[in-house]
């Protein structure tokens, strides 16, 4: 991090200089540490510039000109999510900064840092990556400016963008640059995006328009080209005595189509088209997500600009998920597991939340539309080995002086998807479903919780480990398939409260979220309470909900408030939907169209709450018990024709008269008053490799742990 450290190592220059918007913490939960140690393990000299002052180029000259490239990242979170609330108000603190100080990173940090790096050393190679770059790799709706923005590539003027879990692409790119290859000649790495001339094509490739494979407006009897292939071979019945037509077996179809896909690029509508056309934007979003399976995804291209200056953003297919042995290697590197000494021991909230938790897997096949995990990590679960995880627990025990025996999490984006996968790799490679668990759990999905149960038992048997709690969010519709897992979890790994995320009670918004109905929640609640009682523990579920999600009406929020009142839930801090780049729910918010189906100008409009007053009303319904919310709730109920819910009777939601003081007693007399987010409404920090925490994904965070809780 300094010239003095370079001199102590005997370095005259760095091969790679990584720039991050976060404090530098040498722990695999933090992106710069993982990337830096990975490059170091392959023989490269890595410098890190942490939270530079972006007002000039001088801080970017601190370590000299890198021999190969600057690697630019905003940090573990998108900089706009990090700096602003869902109401577009600037935050008062930053969990990734020493002392939690705000304003240590700029808006759209990737673009600003990349431009400053170029200013510091004209002609230097610039590589961008991380969650911010990954989720802005094509034209996208930007909530903070309320408009469709270009890909981050033309704005940052970077040479190449690495998206998703990019370890393979990162190492390959660095090795090829070290061997003397020009960065603008490296065009074949999966998980990369770059700018090219409109007429550029690899030899032998063909282009197909996205509107030819998923036509906007063609909501009719034509077969959906994105429907999953049939699983078994069959013979099509003959007509009029003709010879029967043999349908190619799945494996043969997959092989033949895979060969064609590998040399096909799908042209998305241009930026200039999608920025002004809601139907084309929704169509492009739908195609983008349906081309996300590494087993069958094709390259995509999108024009930016018009006339002689037009350029294409080219996206190669997403990276192939890491194998277990590769995951073990990445997480087994020699991390110091501490913040850099330059911070002098200053408190970094993100570090406090994550230091005794362990990431056991990546990815999520839930497909929740408000979540960005699939766009970043993919839906295929990547799991570490049991031995690797147990070694990390022992390392924490042996090398962390303040470890008292409590492991705060064994999880990832979801607590209970460890080692789950499709039962047949060929089906997995050919499938285009956006979720393996919606509208129901796929019959081809393996849901065995046995490996996770065994891991829990071995982990808590390690000498020196007194307690292991699970902080990541639980996918309860999977958990109910394994009562043994629920019993293991409830008996040994819950400390009074367990956070799960129904997100809503009503079918309308749940269908737009791609979340299960409340029946799954109730089934899990029954098991949870049964096993808590058997263990002699008084424990409670903490449900998470989202206000103002696309597809949610005022009546939906009222019904949810009545459900909360009936079940005596009094939530302290709640989450309003935050439209984050490229999420399907963000497309619904921006276009009022549903990209889960083919779209047209005549498609059914998705109910979308956009005004500040209505968003506040929806949020107030989640805190129906708070006197500060009673005025806006009274006004809303009157407008909705539900004045019958205003009064002092047991069936009323809010009282008729406002108390003299709006302050609520500390516990409001409720045995089930629960906290809904981290202190001060802050999102919890994200793990490296997973998408960021609740505000970025519009999902829960907080005490569960410092990774994204989903599912």
DSSP state of 266: E
**Annotated binding-site residue? 442:** no
Residue carrying the six token digits 């909705």? 640
345: burial class by Cβ within 10 Å (0-12, 13-18, 19+)?
A: exposed
Torsion angle of alpha carbons 335, 340, 345, 350, nearest 10°? -70
Residue 45 CA from chain centroid, whole number? 30
Residue 345 host element (H or E): none
**Helix intervals (H) in 446-591:** 450-460, 476-479, 483-492, 507-513, 518-534, 554-566, 584-591
Interacting residues of 354 by C-beta distance below 8 A, sequence separation 6+: 27, 29, 685, 687, 705, 706, 707
Q: Can you give the C-alpha Rg of the chain in angstroms?
A: 26
Tokens of 608: 């979308």
- Among residues 144, 175, 159, the alpha carbon closest in space to that of 80 is found at 144
Long-range contact set of residues 216-220: C-beta below 8 Å, sequence gap at least 24 = 216/279, 216/280, 216/282, 216/283, 216/598, 216/599, 216/600, 217/279, 217/598, 217/599, 217/600, 217/601, 217/602, 218/598, 218/600, 219/597, 219/598, 219/600, 219/603
Residue carrying the six token digits 């990431």? 359
Residue carrying the six token digits 């109920």? 637
The answer to whether the Cα torsion of 662, 666, 667, 669 is positive or negative is: negative
Specify the length of the chain in residues: 711
Report d(CA 323, CA 253) in Å as an integer.
Answer: 25
Bridge-based pairing of strands 570-571 and 575-576 is unpaired
DSSP per position, 392-450: HHHHHHHH-TT--SEE-EEESSSTT-TT--BS-HHHHHH---S-SSSSS--TTB----H
Interacting residues of 198 by C-beta distance below 8 A, sequence separation 6+: 303, 310, 311, 312
Tokens of 129: 């990556």
DSSP three-state, residue 13: coil
Interacting residues of 132 by C-beta distance below 8 A, sequence separation 6+: 73, 74, 75, 77, 78, 79, 108, 109, 110, 152
DSSP state of 162: E
Report d(CA 487, CA 453) in Å as an integer.
Answer: 10
Report d(CA 579, CA 86) in Å as an integer.
Answer: 8
Distance set, CA 149 to CA 135, 269, 271, 305, 609 (Å): 12, 14, 8, 12, 21
**Annotated binding-site residue? 368:** yes
Report d(CA 351, CA 452) in Å as an integer.
Answer: 26
**Annotated binding-site residue? 371:** yes
Number of C-beta neighbours around residue 187 at 10 A: 14
**Binding site residues for [4Fe-4S] cluster, as ranges?**
364, 368, 371
**Binding site residues, as ranges?**
364, 368, 371
């Amino acid at each position: 991090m300094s010239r003095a450290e370079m001199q102590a190592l005997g370095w005259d220059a760095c091969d790679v200089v990584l720039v991050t918007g976060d404090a530098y913490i040498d722990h695999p939960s933090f992106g710069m540490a993982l990337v830096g140690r990975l490059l170091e393990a392959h023989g490269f000299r890595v410098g890190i510039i942490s939270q530079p002052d972006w007002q000039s180029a001088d801080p970017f000259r601190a370590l000299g000109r890198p021999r190969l490239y600057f690697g630019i990242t905003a940090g573990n979170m998108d900089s706009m999510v990090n700096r602003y609330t869902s109401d577009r108000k600037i935050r008062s603190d930053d969990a990734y900064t020493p002392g939690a100080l705000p304003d240590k990173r700029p808006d759209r940090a990737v673009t600003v840092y990349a431009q400053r790096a170029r200013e510091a050393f004209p002609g230097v190679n610039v590589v961008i990556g991380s969650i911010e770059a990954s989720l802005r790799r094509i034209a996208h709706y930007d909530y903070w400016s309320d408009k469709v923005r270009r890909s981050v590539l033309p704005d940052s003027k970077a040479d190449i963008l690495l998206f998703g879990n990019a370890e393979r692409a990162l190492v390959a790119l660095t090795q090829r640059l070290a061997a003397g290859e020009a960065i603008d000649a490296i065009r074949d790495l999966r998980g990369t995006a770059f700018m090219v001339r409109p007429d550029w094509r690899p030899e032998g490739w063909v282009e197909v328009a996205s509107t030819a494979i998923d036509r906007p407006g063609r909501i009719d009897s034509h077969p959906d080209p994105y429907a999953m292939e049939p699983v078994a071979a069959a013979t099509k019945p003959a007509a009029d005595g003709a010879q029967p037509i043999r349908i190619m077996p799945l494996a043969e179809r997959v092989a033949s189509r895979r060969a064609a896909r590998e040399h096909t690029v799908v042209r998305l509508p241009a930026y200039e088209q999608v920025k002004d056309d809601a139907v084309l934007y929704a169509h492009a979003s739908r195609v983008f997500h349906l081309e996300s399976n590494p087993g069958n995804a094709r390259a995509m291209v999108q024009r930016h600009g018009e006339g002689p200056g037009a350029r294409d953003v080219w996206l190669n297919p997403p990276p192939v998920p890491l194998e277990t042995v590769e995951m073990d290697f990445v997480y087994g590197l020699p991390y110091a597991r501490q913040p850099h000494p330059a911070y002098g021991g200053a408190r970094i909230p993100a570090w406090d939340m994550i230091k005794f938790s362990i990431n056991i897997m990546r990815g999520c096949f839930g497909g929740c539309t408000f979540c960005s995990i699939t766009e970043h990590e993919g839906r295929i679960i990547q799991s570490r080995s049991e031995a690797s995880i147990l070694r990390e627990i022992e390392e924490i025990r042996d090398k962390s002086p303040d470890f008292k025996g409590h492991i705060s999490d064994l999880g990832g984006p979801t607590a209970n998807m460890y080692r789950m996968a499709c039962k047949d790799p060929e089906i997995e490679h050919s499938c285009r479903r956006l979720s393996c668990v919606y509208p129901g759990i796929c019959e081809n999905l393996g849901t065995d919780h046995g490996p996770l149960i065994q891991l829990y038992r071995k982990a808590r048997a390690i000498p020196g480990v007194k307690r292991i709690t699970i902080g990541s969010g639980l996918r309860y519709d999977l958990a109910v398939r394994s009562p043994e897992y629920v019993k293991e979890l409830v008996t040994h790994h819950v400390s009074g409260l367990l956070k799960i995320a129904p997100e809503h009670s009503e079918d309308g918004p749940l269908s737009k979220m791609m979340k299960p109905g409340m029946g799954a929640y109730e089934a899990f609640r029954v098991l949870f309470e049964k096993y808590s009682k058997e263990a002699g523990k008084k424990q409670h579920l903490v449900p998470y909900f989202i206000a103002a999600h696309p597809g949610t009406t005022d009546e939906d929020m009222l019904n949810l408030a009545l459900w909360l009142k009936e079940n005596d839930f009094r939530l302290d801090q709640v989450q309003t939907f935050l439209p984050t780049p490229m999420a399907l729910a963000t497309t619904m918010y921006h276009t009022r169209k549903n990209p889960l189906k083919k779209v047209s100008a005549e498609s059914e409009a998705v109910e979308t709450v956009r005004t500040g007053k209505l968003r506040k009303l929806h949020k107030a319904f989640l805190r129906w018990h708070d006197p500060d919310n009673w005025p806006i709730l009274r006004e809303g109920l009157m407008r909705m024709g539900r004045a019958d819910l205003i009064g002092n009777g047991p069936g009323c939601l809010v009282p008729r008269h406002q108390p003299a003081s709006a302050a609520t007693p500390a516990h409001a007399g409720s045995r089930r008053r629960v906290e809904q987010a981290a202190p001060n409404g802050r999102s919890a920090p994200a793990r490296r490799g997973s998408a960021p925490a609740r505000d970025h994904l519009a999902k829960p965070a907080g005490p569960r742990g410092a990774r994204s809780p989903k599912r």
